[in-house]
């Protein structure tokens, strides 16, 4: 198995632009998580899905952030409009329901 796949690996954009991050979870996993990691705030859970349904989005910082999971093999995290303070590494993780999570390599987002 290829593991959790995230794209792009690096994204540089200008303030005000729309950014879309993509995630393909491990096949058969029924839970998917989006995290943000920064030096200042550490690792923050943004949202998680169970069986494609958003369960807890209380970590989504603002209405500028939205996440979707249209099917079991794909999820997106969108930021519109982006701001410099959104610069971070965004991780997607999936879980088969046995508690441990499997993380993707992350997307490093830089908003200028």
CB of 61 closer than 8 Å to CB of 47: no
Q: Which two tokens stand for residue 72?
A: 């079991």
Per the listing, tokens 């990691």 go with 37
Asked whether position 95 contacts another protein by CB under 8 A, the answer is yes
Sole binder of another protein in the list 11, 31, 46, 69 (CB under 8 A):
31
Residues contacting 24, CB < 8 A, separation 6+: 4, 5, 6, 73, 74
Nearer to another protein, 48 or 65 (CB): 48
CB of 8 closer than 8 Å to CB of 92: no
Asked whether position 65 contacts another protein by CB under 8 A, the answer is no
Containing H/E element for 44? strand 42-50
Site for another protein in 9-28 (CB under 8 A): none
Give the binding range for another protein (CB under 8 A) out of 21-29, 61-69, 72-80, 97-105: 97-105
Selection from 58, 56, 46 nearest residue 21 by Cα: 46
Asked whether position 50 contacts another protein by CB under 8 A, the answer is yes
Sole binder of another protein in the list 22, 73, 87, 102 (CB under 8 A):
102
Binding site for another protein (CB under 8 A): 4, 31, 33, 42-43, 45, 48, 50, 55-56, 91, 93, 95, 99-106
């Amino acid at each position: 198995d290829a593991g959790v796949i995230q794209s792009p690996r690096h994204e540089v954009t200008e303030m005000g632009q729309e950014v879309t991050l993509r995630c393909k979870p491990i096949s058969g996993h029924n839970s998917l998580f989006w995290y943000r990691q920064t030096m200042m705030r550490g690792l923050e859970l943004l949202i998680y899905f169970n069986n494609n349904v958003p369960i807890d989005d209380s970590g989504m910082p603002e209405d500028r952030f939205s996440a979707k999971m249209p099917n079991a093999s794909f999820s997106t995290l969108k930021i519109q409009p982006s701001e410099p303070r959104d610069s971070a590494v965004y991780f997607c993780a999936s879980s088969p329901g046995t508690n441990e999570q499997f993380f993707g390599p992350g997307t490093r987002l830089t908003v200028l």
